[in-house]
Amino acid sequence: MTEQLPGATAAHRTVTDHPDAWCSVAFHDQVRAWVDERLESRGIRLTGEWSQPHARPWSSAIRLGSTAGPVWFKVNGAGTRHEPALLRLLADRVPALVPEVLAVSTDRGWSLTRDAGPMLREALSPSESWRAWESVVREYAAAQLELADARDAVLGAGVPEVSPATLPLLARRLVAELGELPVDIGGLSFEHTRGLRAMLPRLDAWCAELDAAPVPDSLQHDDLHSGNICWSGPAAATVIDWGDASWGSPVATMLCTLASLARAADVSTDSAPVLRVRDAYLEAFTTLATRAELVHLVDLAVRAGCVTRALSWRAAVRDVPASGHEEWEFPVRSWLLELLSR
């Protein structure tokens, strides 16, 4: 069920569009009424059990008990508002990749899904999860290839394009933007601004190679780690939390995935088990390029991906004053400065 709400009133926006309100009684009452109405048509009733694990500027999730098992309500902030529409698209095109979508309200940034089981990090320890990861990334890569012809639909859902063709200009704009901010609220120093500008021609070259590669652009999650995978076994693994997703080089996903795997297992990103996950991911693309070419593309995308991560953070905290970004250690600047170490 997809809702379009072009006539939202000022009172409606006051309750639903401000992250501070997501923990309010008024918002919780709205959520319960909306969820209850959508479940009723399926013969499902809420049981009264609920919890709100987090409420951050970019989203909040509420777990509600029902007669058909737990369901999850999620609200997205302005910078990640595309997620419900993207979930609906994924449910139509690659349904095995995401939890069952019960309802979305795209204008409000609301979605309702069935519970898909525990997170991978809760189900398996890092040392136990290597084979699970190999299974997950194979399915994820296959879905990316399936979605490679869905550019118009993905962008139409509101997902940003951060492709090799667009990233150089986006990077220049971000450097200019942060260069005008004071350092103590997340801006760039003169030295860092100069260093980043000197790096931009190298970024251009990496993006040109990625753009010319035989691997087509597609949807990429950009935050694929063990907290965003629900795991009930190899045949029941789903990916959640698509708020950071963008349209671009599919292999850019490997920046977050490989780094998070290495960090969780306390190994290096070039250790054997991490590289096996990378190679399992690349299997789906071997009909398009050689293994060596694909490994090189991952290397390029990981280098350029720090700018993509900076942009996803910029979108996530867009409604938070720059001075408030200190809570997350100024992530837009931090990720952008990673470019200097590439």
- Average pLDDT of the segment spanning 180-199: 97
CB 67 within 8 A of CB 44: yes
Q: Tell me the pLDDT tens digit for each residue of 149-170.
A: 999 999 999 999 999 999 999 9
Residue 70, pLDDT above cutoff 80: yes
DSSP state of 217: P
pLDDT at 212 over 70: yes
Closest C-alpha among 271, 269, 239, 238 to residue 255: 269
> In the CATH scheme, what is the code of domain 120-341?
3.90.1200.10
pLDDT in tens, 31-46: 999 999 999 999 999 9
Report residue 7's pLDDT band, with 50, 70 and 90 as the boundaries: very low
Q: What is the pLDDT of residue 16?
A: 52
d(CA 50, CA 29): 12
Instruction: Give the C-alpha separation, 83 to 77, whole Å.
Output: 10
CATH superfamily of 2-114: Phosphorylase Kinase; domain 1 (3.30.200.20)
User: Which contiguous run of DSSP H or E holds residue 46?
Assistant: strand 46-56
Given a cut of 50, whether residue 13 has pLDDT beyond it is: no
Of the candidates 98, 63, 59, which has an alpha carbon nearest to the alpha carbon of residue 75?
59
Phi-psi domain of 290 (left: phi exceeds 0; alpha: psi -120 through 50; beta: other) = beta
Categorise residue 181: left if φ over 0, alpha if ψ from -120 to 50, beta otherwise: beta
Q: How confident is the model at residue 236 (pLDDT cuts 50, 70, 90)?
A: confident
User: pLDDT at position 18, please?
Assistant: 65
Q: Which residue has the higher pLDDT, 3 or 71?
A: 71
**What is the average pLDDT across 87-111?**
97
Alpha carbons 90 and 73: distance in angstroms, whole number: 17
- Residue 1: which pLDDT band, with cuts at 50, 70 and 90? very low
- Provide the residue ranges of all domains of the chain, joining segments of one domain with +: 2-114, 120-341
Q: What pLDDT score does 292 carry?
A: 98
Q: What is the mean pLDDT of residues 305-329?
A: 93
Is the Cβ–Cβ distance between 195 and 335 less than 8 Å?
no
Is residue 231 within 8 Å of 118, Cβ to Cβ?
Answer: yes
Tell me the average pLDDT of the chain: 93
Distance CA 80, CA 103 (A): 17
pLDDT at 4 over 70: no
**How many angstroms separate the CA atoms of 187 and 193, rounded?**
9
Assign 322 a pLDDT band (cuts: 50, 70, 90): confident
- Is residue 214 scored above 50 in pLDDT? yes
| Global pTM value | 0.93
On the question of pLDDT at 12 being above 50, the answer is no
DSSP string across 143-188: HHHHTTT-HHHHHHTTPPB--TTTHHHHHHHHHHHHHTS-GGGT--
